[in-house]
């Protein structure tokens, strides 16, 4: 019998859709918070994907060659949770009842690692689109590396009007079209409604024409959001194009089948009233009871996934039959593409002066060939930032396995794409740009930290030492802005050798934290041997004593290139008969994770202290008595002049210490 609400749905699919639509009303109503309308309208699409197309197995949720599904419009999270429960994943009715409650497995927006089926953390609109590009890119690199018998899956994304209004989706879609990422399909839920009202208030784009211009296949389904057969035909047409990504435009009606709320802005973010829910459930033909589920349905749906589960079993057999190649794939997936063993890079000679960004290139030259999962690139600054993979092909249609990624001038998309690659597994992504442009990337850095994505964000030209480019390109507040992000490791190495050694450690760490590596444009003094040994042992701990003196009357503290300034200041103070100690804090978060005894031994707060850093002083008073820094914008002038004009020189430290000692005397 034909399903009058959801044409083409099988009996099982119809039951699944109705349960999901019902819980999309019940859960927000119980929480008095949440978004019902979009989840209701997209339930047929979600069920079609999970039932007919998605390579997945609820009995093995982390099967490596599964298809990836991303709900970029993460406010509709109850859709994903309902799909997960109904299709037999480990999401219980009690979990659904706890929607948006403290410590639940069904948070307000999808969070990676919290709920089965959630591949990336979404919610801030548009980033899920870019995450999807990253996942498709990771799949392609791994497929070229290991063969399509071992790696052959697709990435599916559902995005809404808000996702496609956000600039990050434009950046990512343009790159995906340029790269020809053919195993990427985005469903655009064109429901014409935003929080403020009809999309036409602010959006009159020809989305189809825009994506065709990006190089995408565009399939327009029209008013058939409830027709599972029409949705499947469109999806299979997308799968048949092996040269480019696909956008499927679906005109849905938010809130369907709740007639009182359908196509209204209130359906976006307001829980539905009890009378509206009652009427909608009558239209659905389901019980007018909250959280009413058929206990037999998940098992029946799992059984119906015979083909998909067979795909998983066949893949496992192929991995075993592949022998050493299969073992390498499994190891690379398990270690997030980390290096298994790394040698030693040639050291920079003591007393020389080398920009830490140039040291990064030496690390790349030495360690990249030994890191099987490495992808590296920049936002159009590859030569400037030191992320050139020598002999590596640029990724593209003609080189699908190329590990050199040219992201173009798209800092935000690049960063969100790194997150997608990192959470896909099997790759160790590095992306780079000038430090001042971390402002463009900040939202993606935040989600990287929130989702524990093992990505390395490289930022060079880290201070007013940029010079003539002026205050528009001279970072001042950026270090403190990134240090404020929970879980993000912000690392500013003290010299060239420390840079190389820290990069080596990052590449071989299977559980690398999301890391921002902040490097200098200007040359920095290379440590003497005793200082290098202190760095070797202490830099991975985030802070260490570079130079100790039991009779020290002052501690001089810094990060990055300013550690060399402290050493010079220490030498001058010693010439004047003032003993000092020098401390480096390359990573505050790493240092804060050390034991109290270690931190106290490094800082020795019983000794007066002063810090110097070519950036904002905010935050330094956690570690020192006084902070010297830059709490204003820079200026357009040669870098040496700017440092001198703003007081980021050894003499400033020397004068401060002398004045304080004279005052205390």
Q: Give the chain's radius of gyration (CA, Å).
A: 28
Q: With b meaning 16 or more CB within 10 Å and e meaning fewer, what string describes 548-585? A: ebeebbbbbbbbbbbbbbbbbbbebbeeeebebbbbbb
| pTM of the entire predicted model | 0.97
Q: What is the pLDDT of residue 156?
A: 98
Quick one: pLDDT band at residue 343, thresholds 50, 70, 90?
A: confident
pLDDT digits (tens, 9 = 90+) for 402-429: 999 999 999 999 999 999 999 999 999 9
Average pLDDT of 482-497? 98
pLDDT surpassing 80 at residue 2: no
Rounded Cα–Cα distance for residues 502 and 98 (Å): 43
Q: Position of tokens 């994903």?
A: 80
pLDDT surpassing 80 at residue 307: yes
% of the chain residues with pLDDT over 90? 98
Burial class from Cβ neighbours inside 10 Å (0-12, 13-18, 19+) for residue 469 reads middle
Asked whether 131 and 166 are in contact (CB, 8 A), the reply is no
| DSSP at 111 | -
% of the chain residues with pLDDT over 70? 100
CA-nearest of 491, 393, 376, 392 to 431 is 376
Quick one: pLDDT band at residue 127, thresholds 50, 70, 90?
A: very high
3-state secondary structure of 401: coil
The H-or-E segment that residue 360 falls in is helix 356-367
pLDDT surpassing 90 at residue 341: no
Rounded (10°) angle between helices 77-86 and 11-31: 130
The angle formed by the CA atoms of residues 395, 392 and 510, to the nearest 5 degrees, is: 85
Domains observed in the chain: 11-309 (3.40.50.970), 353-525 (3.40.50.970), 540-664 (3.40.50.920)
pLDDT digits (tens, 9 = 90+) for 168-216: 999 999 999 999 999 999 999 999 999 999 999 999 999 999 999 999 9
Q: What is the pLDDT of residue 178?
A: 98
Rounded Cα–Cα distance for residues 205 and 478 (Å): 34
Q: What is the pLDDT of residue 14?
A: 98
pLDDT digits (tens, 9 = 90+) for 524-534: 999 999 999 99
Mean pLDDT score across all residues of the chain = 97
Average pLDDT of 553-572? 98
3-state secondary structure of 563: helix
Is residue 390 left, alpha or beta, with left meaning phi > 0 and alpha meaning psi from -120 to 50?
Answer: beta
Helices (H) and strands (E) in the chain, counts: 26, 18
Which residue of the set 171, 411, 531, 613 is catalytic?
411
pLDDT digits (tens, 9 = 90+) for 129-160: 999 999 999 999 999 999 999 999 999 999 99
pLDDT surpassing 90 at residue 344: no
Rounded Cα–Cα distance for residues 86 and 47 (Å): 9
Quick one: pLDDT band at residue 1, thresholds 50, 70, 90?
A: low
User: In the Cβ-directed half-sphere of 6, how many Cα atoms lie within 13 Å?
Assistant: 27
The 3 state secondary structure assigned to 571-625 is HHHHHCCCCEEEEECCCHHHHHCCCHHHHHHHHCCCCCEEEECCCCCCCHHHCCC
Q: What is the pLDDT of residue 505?
A: 95
Rounded Cα–Cα distance for residues 146 and 65 (Å): 12
Q: With b meaning 16 or more CB within 10 Å and e meaning fewer, what string describes 210-223? A: bbeebbbbbbebee
pLDDT digits (tens, 9 = 90+) for 9-58: 999 999 999 999 999 999 999 999 999 999 999 999 999 999 999 999 99
Active site residue 411: yes
Asked whether 573 and 467 are in contact (CB, 8 A), the reply is no
Average pLDDT of 484-489? 98
pLDDT digits (tens, 9 = 90+) for 228-237: 999 999 999 9
């Amino acid at each position: 019998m034909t399903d009058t609400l959801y044409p083409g749905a099988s009996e099982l699919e119809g039951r699944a859709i109705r349960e999901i639509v019902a819980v999309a009303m019940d859960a927000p109503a119980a929480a008095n918070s949440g978004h019902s309308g979009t989840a209701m309208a997209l339930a047929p699409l979600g069920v079609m994907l999970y039932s007919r197309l998605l390579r997945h197995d609820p009995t093995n949720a982390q099967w490596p060659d599964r298809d990836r599904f991303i709900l970029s419009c993460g406010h509709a999270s109850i859709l994903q949770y309902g799909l997960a429960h109904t299709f037999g994943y480990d999401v219980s009715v009690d979990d659904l009842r706890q929607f948006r409650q403290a410590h639940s497995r069904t948070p307000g927006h999808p969070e990676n690692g919290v709920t089965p089926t959630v591949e990336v953390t979404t919610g801030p609109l548009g980033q899920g689109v870019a995450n999807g590009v990253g996942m498709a890119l990771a799949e392609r690199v791994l497929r070229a590396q290991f063969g399509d018998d071992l790696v052959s899956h697709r990435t599916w994304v559902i995005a809404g009007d808000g996702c496609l209004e956000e600039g990050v989706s434009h950046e990512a879609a343009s790159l995906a079209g340029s790269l020809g990422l053919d195993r990427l399909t985005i469903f655009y839920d064109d429901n014409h409604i935003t929080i403020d009202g009809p999309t036409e208030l602010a959006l009159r784009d020809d989305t189809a024409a825009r994506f065709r211009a990006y190089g995408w296949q565009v399939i327009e389904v029209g008013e058939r959001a409830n027709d599972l057969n029409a949705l499947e035909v469109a999806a299979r047409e997308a799968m048949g194009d092996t040269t480019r990504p696909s956008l499927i435009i679906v005109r849905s009606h938010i809130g369907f089948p709740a007639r009182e709320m359908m196509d209204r802005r209130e359906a976006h973010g307001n829980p539905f009233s009890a009378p509206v829910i009652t009427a909608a459930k009558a239209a659905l033909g389901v019980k007018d009871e909250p959280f009413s589920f058929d206990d037999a349905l998940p098992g029946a749906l799992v059984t119906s996934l015979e083909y998909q589960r067979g795909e998983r079993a066949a893949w496992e057999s192929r991995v075993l039959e592949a022998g050493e190649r299969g073992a390498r794939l499994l190891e690379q997936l398990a270690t997030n593409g980390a290096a298994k063993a790394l040698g030693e890079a040639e050291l920079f000679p003591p007393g020389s002066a080398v920009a830490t960004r140039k040291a990064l290139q030496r690390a790349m030259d030495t360690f990249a060939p030994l890191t099987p999962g490495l992808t590296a690139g920049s936002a159009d600054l590859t030569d400037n930032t030191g992320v050139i993979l020598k002999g590596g092909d640029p990724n593209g249609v003609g080189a699908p396995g190329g590990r050199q990624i040219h992201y173009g001038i798209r800092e935000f998309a690049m960063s969100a794409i790194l997150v997608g690659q990192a959470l896909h597994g099997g790759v160790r992504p590095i992306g780079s740009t000038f430090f001042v442009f971390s402002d463009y990337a900040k939202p993606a850095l935040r989600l990287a930290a929130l989702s524990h994505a093992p990505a390395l964000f490289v930022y060079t030209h880290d201070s007013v030492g940029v010079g003539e480019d002026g205050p528009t390109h001279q970072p001042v507040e950026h270090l403190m802005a990134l240090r404020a992000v929970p879980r993000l490791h912000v690392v500013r190495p003290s010299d060239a050798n420390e840079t190389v050694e820290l990069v080596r450690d990052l590449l071989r760490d299977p559980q690398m934290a999301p890391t921002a590596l902040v490097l200098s444009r200007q040359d920095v003094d290379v440590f003497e041997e005793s200082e290098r040994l202190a760095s070797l042992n202490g830099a991975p701990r985030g802070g260490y004593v570079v130079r100790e003196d039991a009779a020290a009357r002052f501690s001089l503290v810094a990060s990055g290139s300013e550690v060399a300034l402290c050493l010079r200041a220490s030498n001058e103070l010693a010439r004047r008969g003032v003993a000092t100690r020098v401390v480096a804090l390359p990573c505050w978060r790493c240092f804060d994770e050390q034991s109290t005894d270690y931190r106290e031994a490094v800082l020795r707060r019983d000794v007066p202290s002063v810090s110097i850093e070519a950036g904002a002083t905010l935050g330094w008073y956690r570690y020192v008595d006084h902070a010297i820094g830059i709490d204003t914008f820079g200026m357009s002038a040669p870098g040496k002049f700017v440092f001198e004009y703003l007081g980021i020189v050894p003499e400033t430290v020397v004068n401060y210490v002398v004045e304080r000692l004279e005052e205390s005397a």
